[in-house]
Amino acid sequence: LKQVRPLNFLFIITMLVAPLLLLLFVPFPASTGNQDPPKATNGELFPWDRMRLPKTVSPIHYDLTIHPNLTTFHFTGVARIELDVHEDTNMVVLHAKQMQISSVLLLAPDGVRPLKVLEYPHFHQLALLSDSVLTKGQMYEVKLEFAANFSDSYHGFYKSSYRTRTGEVRFLASTQFEATFARGAFPCFDEPAFKAKFTIRIIREPRHIAISNMPKVKTVELLGGLLEDHFDTTVKMSTYLVAYIVSDFLSVSKMTQHGVKISVYAVPEKIDQTAYALDAAVKLLDFYDDYFDIPYPLPKQDLAAIPDFQSGAMENWGLTTYRETALLFDPDRSSASDKLAITKVIAHELAHQWFGNLVTMEWWNDLWLNEGFAKFMEYISLDITYPELHVDDFFLGKCFEAMEVDSLSSSHPVSTPVENPMEIQEMFDDVSYDKGACILNMLRDFMTPESFEIGIIKYLKQYSYQNTVNGHLWDSLTNVMSCLSTDKWYSDDELDVRTIMDTWTLQEGFPLVTVEVRESGFAVSLFLWQIPLTYMTSASETVHRFLLKGKTDVLYLPEEVEWVKFNVNMSGYYMVHYEGEGWNSIIRLLQNDHTVLTSNDRASLIHNVFQLVSIGKVRLDTALELSLYLSRETEIMAVTQGFGELVPLYKLMEKRDMAALENQMKGYIVDLFRGLIDQQEWADSGSVSERVLRSYLLLFACVRNYPPCVTKATQLFNEWKDSDGNMSLPVDITMAVFVVGARTPEGWDFLFEKYSHSMQMSVKSRMKIAMTVSPLKDKLKWFSLHGEVMKTQDLPDVVVSISKNPIGYKLAWDFLRANWRTLIKKFDLGSNTVSYMVTGVTSQYSTREMLDEIRSFFGSLTEETGSKMRCIQQTYETIEDNIRWMETNLPLLQAWLDKRRQRMPHEDL
């Protein structure tokens, strides 16, 4: 390369987390043996000793009849499963959980005969034993009659309820089978690779309707006044995608341009909140149909808002299900952030109809092939179909969230071995979703969007109705790399996607690139990752690219530069440290003209510098000096990241007795953003990003008692209360108004009464959180009343929100401990919900005393009550990190704030 006045930038790649790389590159085992011979419930030896099912037989077709009773909350059913025998055998092993099996018959070519049934509940397995051999190549059927109670959790076949405006409680039954819960609804081969077709019949009362994956083809009248709905046969799919609902829902429908019927279902009194979701689903399904160049294979797509729902949504093929807040939208009362969130979740679930449903991961270790892609496609699809939502302003935040988890040694690779249901549940986390999306975005930038799109279409077409592993995707993308000039990445070798991406998916953590300016050249070192580096300099607007893949390398710049910024737009999943004068040059740039860099670049600098403080690479005062430029920042990603790094500093202090320093820090942040806060109108105006930022800023200002904000919010709350809640408040500022209103007992009680009777889900959500921010300690105990007024599904958000409240954080921890067994039964071990509560409630502790208390409680658990959950190790690590941060940085923080006291006269706010 041309050498003109060369400067040397030395890249040193170090690990934030140290994985056992050699172990991680060993192929995943299909299963692990059980140490003791398994015993069936009748005391006999169970003939199979592995968690994973044998592959001697596989299902081809299920004929399934289900009769749920919404009075007794019990259901019965019959499953006829057509089998393909791959090896001679005398047993069929499949799944069933907490189910009474009353009859099992084998329908063989030579007649019908009963099968002996053994049950091994520890693995949720049934063994069906035949006294004669099932012959390879022959077709057989097994017929099982079964009964069970509705699930007590939000998984399997479970009951849901809602209260009408008149106070009547009505019940419905719905399914949630991902990941391992179909086995609680009907006997089945409950692993994703055992794909089959399903023909479903539902028996119901005339007052209800039934919906399932496929359209209803007919209804038959039965004795006793019951009706039996027959649904068309599905395409070949995994058990976790089966769905059916029995309810009194109403629906609205439209047709897509490609002839697919879209319907949105909701409880009758909320059907008027479905119009936005219906239009969004039509628009997005048409987009995916064209983008993937593969027609959506079903004749309909239903979206159902379920009153009781643990997660955000579920991608069941042809019948996606949602929490009500994730689907229902009121144009007059839902906020800009509500619209963004609802559109994203619909985009996510519809992307799954291709990524996950049409092409499915072989096993749960590669869950990211489903979830990472669906998360990534949220942003690709909305950027094109809803440009007014400015979705690009929010993607980078997902990468920061992933890095927070991925920087812990208790993190896991994107693709990691899992075996039991708890380990599988734990895969539904920020690593699978957000890190998966971020490394796909990095790969798209590396390949170019055009080549990447060609590659994923090739992947989807080649593996339709099949199961895949990581390598299948990498092979499809490598095959289109001829579309990409290798000169772009300064590489003389053929670019191999698998070799590059294995370094990102088979080890946890992420690289730290250290840049150092020297006199002799541009040198590069690498340990464990192949990194698509990008950088720009003060001398050129060109984005330079370099694939860092060897132990050392050298680059040269054609001219001297004042500054260099690596990881342009933070499209790469790595952090950058600028040694020597590097950070000072960045600080000068931001102070002089921050707009030279994009908002994402500025946000990434804020994120990187504060994270580097945590690992001792950068002094805290350097990071705080960089933060000073934020007084001139206006873009949402950089502003919210500034808050995201600064606010946690005083949140740690709120749980210690150090009010003076805590208030100094709060005052600094308020003063830093005072100008931007003062610019905000108390009205719904501007772009989606501007409206979301307004909500954020005014809420922060009111929580921090900024007088102009508190005065205005108090005035609006009193006017709204005087109108008995009928006055129309600007939607985007209601959170700030409610938070201020909830500070008095009268205001809190009024909010609680309105919350109890409101049918607007987004309004209820804001009221709920506002009440948890209240300084009234006796009112914070309201979450114990959730059985009558608040849905149990909302309990985790409430507990975590109270844990952030300096008045209530101990209440939240005590509640979590006291109700642990109930919570893990309701929300399931290993679930994202349990992890969210554990880490959310404990993440702001920073004392040895609290660490000891938390260790004492979690240390007393057994494996059955969650002792091996990853979130517990993450909790210990996070608190240890907090303790180290406080011990190292509190003196620096105090000195820096004292130094700036004259510039920051409002620290008492």
Distance CA 872, CA 842 (A): 10
Distance CA 426, CA 880 (A): 22
DSSP 734-765: HHHHHHHHTTSHHHHHHHHHHHHH---HHHHH
| Cβ–Cβ < 8 Å for 140, 95 | no
Q: Report how many helices (DSSP H) and strands (DSSP E) the chain contains, helices first.
A: 27, 32
Give 647: exposed, middle or buried? Use CB within 10 Å, 0-12, 13-18, 19+: middle
Q: With CA atoms as reference, report the closest residue to 546 among 494, 500, 589, 487.
A: 487
Tell me if residue 487 falls in helix, strand or coil. helix
Give the residue carrying structure tokens 């069941």: 316
371 is in an annotated binding site: yes
Distance CA 878, CA 872 (A): 10
Side-chain-facing half-sphere of 781: CA atoms under 13 Å? 3
The count of residues in the chain is: 909
* DSSP code of residue 36: S
Q: With CA atoms as reference, report the closest residue to 599 among 557, 568, 576.
A: 568
Residue 753's φ and ψ, nearest 5 degrees, are -65, -40
Per-residue tokens: 405? 């988890």
544 is in an annotated binding site: no
Give the residue carrying structure tokens 């380990």: 423
Tell me if residue 367 falls in helix, strand or coil. coil
Give 766: exposed, middle or buried? Use CB within 10 Å, 0-12, 13-18, 19+: buried
How much is the CA Rg of the chain, to the nearest whole Å?
A: 29
Return the amino acid letter for 155. Answer: H
352 is in an annotated binding site: yes
| Cβ–Cβ < 8 Å for 134, 228 | no
Q: With CA atoms as reference, report the closest residue to 427 among 832, 763, 717, 124.
A: 832
| Cβ–Cβ < 8 Å for 301, 262 | yes
Give 458: exposed, middle or buried? Use CB within 10 Å, 0-12, 13-18, 19+: middle
Distance CA 634, CA 904 (A): 20
Beta strand pairing status for 216-221 and 227-231? antiparallel
Query: What are the Cα distances from residue 149, in Å, to 73, 211, 793?
Result: 6, 20, 20
**C-alpha 348: how far from its chain's center?**
10
| Cβ–Cβ < 8 Å for 654, 672 | no
Distance CA 41, CA 121 (A): 8
Per-residue tokens: 437? 């999306």
Q: In the 3-class helix/strand/coil scheme, how is 55-97 assigned residue by residue? A: CCEEEEEEEEEEEEECCCCEEEEEEEEEEEECCCEEEEEEECC
Beta strand pairing status for 575-578 and 511-515? parallel
Distance CA 640, CA 693 (A): 8
Q: Considering 349, 625, 645, 907, which one is annotated as catalytic?
A: 349
Is 349 designated active site? Answer: yes
Q: Which residues contact 119 (CB under 8 A, 6 or more apart)?
A: 40, 41, 42, 96, 101, 125, 126, 127
The β-bridge partners of 546 are: 533
Q: With CA atoms as reference, report the closest residue to 507 among 10, 13, 9.
A: 13
The β-bridge partners of 69 are: 74
The β-bridge partners of 251 are: 265
* DSSP code of residue 431: I
Distance CA 134, CA 92 (A): 9
Residues forming the active site: 349
Binding-site positions for Zn(2+): 348, 352, 371
Summarize the annotated binding site as residue ranges: 348, 352, 371
